A and B are shown apart, each in its own frame.
Chain A
Amino acid sequence: MSLRKRFDEQLARLVIGEDAVMQLEGRRVLVVSADFLTAVLRAGEKVVGPAIGGIHYLAGELSGRGFGERARAGAPGARLEDLVVNVMASLELRGLGRVEIADLDATAGTGILRLKRSPYADAFPDRDRPACHSLMGLWGGLLSGVSGREITAEEVFCRAKGDPICEIVASPRTE
């Protein structure tokens, strides 16, 4: 199915009440510009320096774990890899940019997430370090939520530091 068609289907599930609260699949959502998210990172860096990356990682992890646990609870018996792919496909439709998943073993909690147009990498060109902290956390958290294991993720390539794509590698935590 084309991206456009999948997007239209997702859009049809988006509801907004007279109270101006928007929901997708029963959860509140906001349509915000990518600038809003990257501005939070930029402002945080001014206050706590690179440590804002760790804070964003934890936030992404919390969110990703929730996605994973809900996906698993909503489709008992489903193949774990399918759950991961579906969650990422849904996030792709929210404007994350094209994603590609490689070497995924959701039971083991390992897999590679490649992002072609991460909004963080777009916003922070010419950096000496990765920029996609919350997406790192999201990938680790998603695999944690789906696998039931503690998974950590590391961005090994990032367009923000001149790599052609962003690549995030997940593996079980060693401690």
Chain B
Amino acid sequence: MTVLAKDYPAFKERLQHILDVAIRNTGTAGIAIARLDGLPIAHRLGGSDDPRLAAVMAASILGAVESVALQLRTGDVSDVLISCNRGKIVALRAGPEAAIIAWCRSETNLGFVLLGLRAAASEIAGVLEGI
């Protein structure tokens, strides 16, 4: 995954736009895109959230669950849902090279969030595939 310096602003802008739309459509509180090796690609996070940590966590959550799935022979992982007492966390693959992580309040409609995030993941995969 390599972006030429001249293309970088447009690339970043496209990803930020996808994240903005995803946040608007799903009501998630924060969202980050990471390479599968945990390096950040783009994010829409609160000022106190560390995008590098979010990126590593996204890749780690998916990586760990994929290892479990491999051991149990349950097939490819599409998404990981984590329910906490004050919110929900969703991690998804965004194509072969990236992961996204998003979180939302407990009362948010999870089906709605998943639909929106899957659409975003598909768009992100398309953008990354095009570079």
Which A residues have a C-beta under 8 Å from some C-beta of B? 46-55, 57-58, 129, 133, 154, 174-175
| A51 B51 Cβ-Cβ under 8 A | no
Minimum CB distance partner of A53 in chain B: B37
Interface 9-mer from B18-26, B55-63, B80-88, B122-130: B55-63
| A58 B64 Cβ-Cβ under 8 A | no
In the complex, A81→B53 CA distance in Å? Answer: 29
| B67 A47 Cβ-Cβ under 8 A | yes
Minimum CB distance partner of B8 in chain A: A174
| A54 B56 Cβ-Cβ under 8 A | yes
Q: Total contacts A to B, CB within 8 angstroms?
A: 65
**Is B114 positioned at the interface, with any CB of A under 8 Å from its CB?**
no
In order of increasing CB-CB distance, the 8 nearest A-B pairs are A54-B38, A49-B63, A51-B59, A53-B37, A48-B63, A54-B56, A51-B63, A51-B60
CB distance from A48 to the nearest CB of B (A): 4
* Residue of A50, A53, A54, A133 contacting most chain B CB atoms (<10 Å): A54
In the complex, A52→B55 CA distance in Å? Answer: 12
Main DSSP-derived SS at the B contact region: helix
Which B residues have a C-beta under 8 Å from some C-beta of A? 8, 12, 34-40, 43, 51-53, 55-56, 59-60, 62-64, 66-67
In the complex, A54→B35 CA distance in Å? Answer: 9
In the complex, A52→B62 CA distance in Å? Answer: 11
Indicate whether A50 sits within 8 Å of B67 (C-beta atoms), given known contacts A57-B39, A129-B37, A133-B37.
no
CB distance from B44 to the nearest CB of A (A): 11
* Residue of A48, A51, A52 contacting most chain B CB atoms (<10 Å): A51
